[in-house]
Structure 1
Amino acid sequence: MTAARSVRLLALGAALAGAALTAQAQAVLRVTAIPDESPTELARKFEPLGKYLEAKLGMKVEWTPVTDYAAAVETLVNKKVDLAWFGGFTFVQANVRSGGKVIPLVQRAEDEKFRSVFITDAASGITKLDDLKGKTLSFGSASSTSGHLMPRSYLLAAKINPDADLKRVSFSGAHDATIAAVASGKVDAGALNISVWEKFVADKKVDPAVVKVFYTTPGYYDYNWSVHADMPAALREKIAAAFLALESAPGGKEILALQRASRFIPTKADNYNGIKGAAEQAGLLK
């Protein structure tokens, strides 16, 4: 065997080994989500979806919880996970942070016109946004679209500066924690995701006669499932197709109900230009 042929064989062997390692690594789809609810609730909601994706994709699906919104952004930007559930603002952050390499695949039909609600104790005397002046208010996470960015933008549009006109602004970290803060009297009012509020009311975890909604925002684009652009196109297409097929899949209605979705639809980065503009105007996009 000549030296040149030996080198070629070694190179071929290394390439095959590398391909095998890549295939082995991609045999697991690592999934995460912004922690906008408690860890146990997120894991409960994801379990049947994860099993469905395993069956559809023919690969193991692994849930990877993160501690905060920033960690969800960084894990996908740095390709430590393959698929992430983002709010509109966290998607924009990831897209900007990655130089456009984080792309949205699908969103719930509800996310085309998502809304936030402002809530208060029914006995507080707060009936409109202007009544918040001099009061205490809890947002969710600082990086939350529906729990901070968009509620803040609508306050600013109403000529209310949360940092100057309110007595105190705090951040609960999650939508369910915001409800708890208002219900316990820790704050006068809170802003959160409408679907979490409606789920709490439906499950009788909050009494709307005691804690009430006093303002609902106009609609805006919000949540989506995103991937890194370096993911093979064939896998991206399979993931998107799996979500789009949920509506008619066996057990799909139950999975969709857990995701608070009627169905999933395709989405694109341009849908979130309004979120990006709101974040820039509020000085929240770095």
Structure 2
Amino acid sequence: MAGDSAPLSVPSAGVTLAVRRTGTRTGPTVVLVHGYPDNHHVWDKVVPLLDDLDVVTYDVRGAGASTAPADRDGYRVERLIDDLVAVLDAVRPDGGPVHLVGHDWGSVQLWAAVFAAGSDDRLRGRIASYVSISGPDLRLYGAFLRDAFSRRRFGVLAEQLAKSWYIAAFQVPLVPELVMRRATRSVRRVLVRSQGLDDAHWSGSLARDGANGVNLYRANAFHALRTPAPASTTVPVTLVVPLRDAFLSPALYEDLPRAVDYLQRREVDAGHWMPWTEPALVAEVVRERISSPDAARTAQ
């Protein structure tokens, strides 16, 4: 029988996270992590399709029903990894393995956790597999930009920089927050029209989620771009590449096989917000990854 979805309050590194658990307690545990400017509701169409699994979602710090850190440093990727550990400790106190699924900034932060799983004792042996949707590891993103420039691949470089214009815009003090809080309806309308969404996609906390979430970019973007690429990971990964992603170029992931020992790449005819626009496909990919032989070996 499916469990209820009442939120569980989980303390972590100066914030309290709102965690929800649905499905069975006997199936594999799957943790779904949302991106910007969403909260856990972005998974609302996916979760019912995984109801025979133990499904966990949570609002990341500063979003939804979770509290916000006191300063910008509280949005560093390191703190986001702390949050994941706190959630895993709460839902799997036995230390058992879980399957991770991330979208957008959820994917960005989970890449950091996946690459840390071999060295961070809190994560060692706890990540059975990972499905990444529309969110690169920031260090690999930086390496891509440097490589494209050094190899004079200016067309590829220009394409991605044009898609990433908002990263620079979010560095401007106060203005992004003001836009998100004072022009929420306009922001919502633009995203709905340009991304093929519907108005039900956005919860009532969009203004707060968007204003707080710009600090993810301010705290991490340029710092991570200067950081050396991470060591390789043995965590099995399925990389989902939406070919109509308005924010990320498929070329970003060209060198990923060097960093991931067990990698499946799946290109799909979809836009950026796949959890909302293509929930059945997302659920299918998650099930395929969970049932794959390499994920089963990792979960042992």
Normalising by structure 1, what TM-score?
0.34
* Larger relative contact order (Cα-Cα within 8 Å, sequence gap ≥ 6): 1
Larger-gyration structure (1/2) = 1
TM-score of the two chains, using structure 2 as the length reference: 0.33
